[in-house]
A = this chain, B = another copy of it.
Amino acid sequence: MRLRTLGEKEVIRAIRREFSKPRRDIVIGIGDDAAVVKPGRKPFIFTKDLLFEGVDFITSLHPPFFLGRKSLNVNLSDIAAMGGKPKYALLGLGLPSNLDLTWIKEFLSGFHSAARKGGILLIGGDLSSANKISISVTVVGEGKNIIRRSGGKPGHILFVSGFLGDSKQGFLLLKKGFKLGDDKRADPLLKAFLDPIPQTSLGHELARNRVASAMIDVSDGLSVDLLHICDESGCGAEIEFEQLPLSPSLSYFQKRPLPLALHGGEDFQLLFSVAPRNLEFISKLQRKFKITEIGRLTSKKGILLIDRKGNKKSLEIKGYEHWGRSPV
């Protein structure tokens, strides 16, 4: 059977089946935003992300400086989703032999600017020739109060940071020929795709104060990522879809912004659940961070969209699927 017909879930299942043996020093293995191990007294968080030319980015549309930043920042988003603090990075680059040194220098300069901002050191990696640009980044972090996907409970309130759907709309505009600086209303959307910012401080605050019961970063799309929280927590969820945080720019360029907010992907915002007793702390955080209440976890399996009048319909799960088709 071919990957195209199987999909990503089946491959991850095959990997989990092959490597199922638990060991005492593994706190969190395959299946969360990042892995957590505890070889001594301190727990360490590991995450790895691959970016391939033509699949995850289009070289002609993506300035190398931003691509360098994004390669690191998507990993920092995974560490943020565990509530950890990033420390070290390893960078693997597969580069075609006709690539210009300027491209590499700008890419490295972008990677470095994100590393400086995140307090991270590049400690090593690997270089190879490749037919297309291939980027593989591993980040190591530390974290005490790690937040998993599995801690949600019925009645916990769902929140999301920032705006949803901007990144996908930015990608659509880029493909239409929009460029940074051309149009002030388009710029935040283009930036959301080209240069997403990881929610490191928010993730760390939520973990440090043990406020979030479950957390994930919205990378595959809200619907898919909420389903991960529901599956791992053994819950269902209701989303008040009219409450989803949509940016003015998204509403300006897109007549039907809801599908992008639900299924767009690459938002790199944090989606988390909070027990009612901790809601007061969230109010405090809302002075510092943009956080929107979007629904709640329920005991009944499945995800429902609910409107202001209380009408419910079930949510179709669509999100980015490798070896399949993109939803938009």
- Most B C-beta atoms less than 10 A away, residue of A2, A14, A48: A48
A108 contacts across to B, CB distance below 8 A: 14-15, 18-19
Asked if residues B129 and A323 are in contact (CB atoms below 8 Å), the reply is: yes
Question: Whole-angstrom distance from the CB of A124 to the nearest CB of chain B?
Answer: 4
Q: Describe A's contact surface by its main secondary structure.
A: mixed
From residue A261, how far is it (CB to closest CB) to chain B in Å? 24
The answer to whether A124 touches B29 (Cβ under 8 A) is yes
Q: Is there contact, CB below 8 Å, between A50 and B18?
A: no
- For A11, list chain B residues within 8 Å (CB): 95, 101, 104, 127
Q: Is the CB of A48 within 8 A of B323?
A: no
Question: When chains A and B are docked, how far (Å) is the Cα of A5 from the Cα of B95?
Answer: 13
Residue of A4, A11, A47, A115 with most chain B CB atoms under a 10 A cut-off: A11
Residues on B with C-beta less than 8 A from A182 are: none
Bound-state CA distance A23–B18 (Å) is: 39
As a 0/1 sequence over residues 55 to 96 of chain A, the CB contacts with chain B under 8 angstroms (1 = contact) are 110000000000000000000000000000001101111111
Within 8 Å by CB of A52, from B48, B55, B130, lies B130
Q: Does A46 contact B (CB under 8 A)?
A: yes
Whether B4 pairs with A122 at a CB distance below 8 angstroms is no
Given A3-B99, A19-B121, A142-B39, also A134-B94 (CB < 8 A)? yes
Q: How far is the CB of A149 from chain B (nearest CB, A)?
A: 13
In the bound complex, how far is the Cα of B92 from the Cα of A51, in angstroms?
10
A68, closest chain B residue (CB): B18
Across the interface, A123 reaches (CB within 8 A) one of B46, B91, B92, B101, namely: B46
In the bound complex, what is the Cα–Cα distance between A13 and B97 (angstroms)?
17
CA of A138 to CA of B128, assembled, Å:
15
Contact B30 A124 (CB under 8 A): yes
A98 at the interface (CB under 8 A from B): yes
- Chain B nearest CB: distance from A184 CB in Å? 32
Contact A121 B50 (CB under 8 A): no
- Alpha-carbon distance between A98 and B41 when the two chains are bound, in angstroms: 45
A322 proximity list for chain B (CB < 8 A):
97, 127-129
A297 interface residue, CB < 8 Å from B?
no
The answer, yes or no, to whether A140 is at the interface (CB within 8 Å) is yes
B97 touches A323 (CB 8 A): yes
Using Cβ atoms and an 8 Å threshold, which residues of chain B touch A101? 1-3, 6, 10-11, 14
> A328 contacts the other chain (Cβ, under 8 Å)?
no
**27 CB < 8 A contacts A-B:** A1-B101, A2-B101, A3-B95, A3-B96, A3-B100, A3-B101, A4-B97, A6-B101, A10-B101, A14-B105, A19-B121, A29-B121, A30-B124, A34-B124, A48-B91, A48-B138, A50-B94, A50-B126, A52-B94, A52-B131, A55-B128, A55-B129, A55-B131, A92-B136, A97-B323, A131-B131, A136-B136
Q: A35-B123, A55-B131 are in contact. List 13 more A-B contacts (CB 8 A).
A: A4-B98, A10-B101, A11-B127, A18-B105, A46-B123, A46-B124, A48-B124, A49-B92, A50-B128, A52-B129, A90-B138, A138-B138, A140-B140
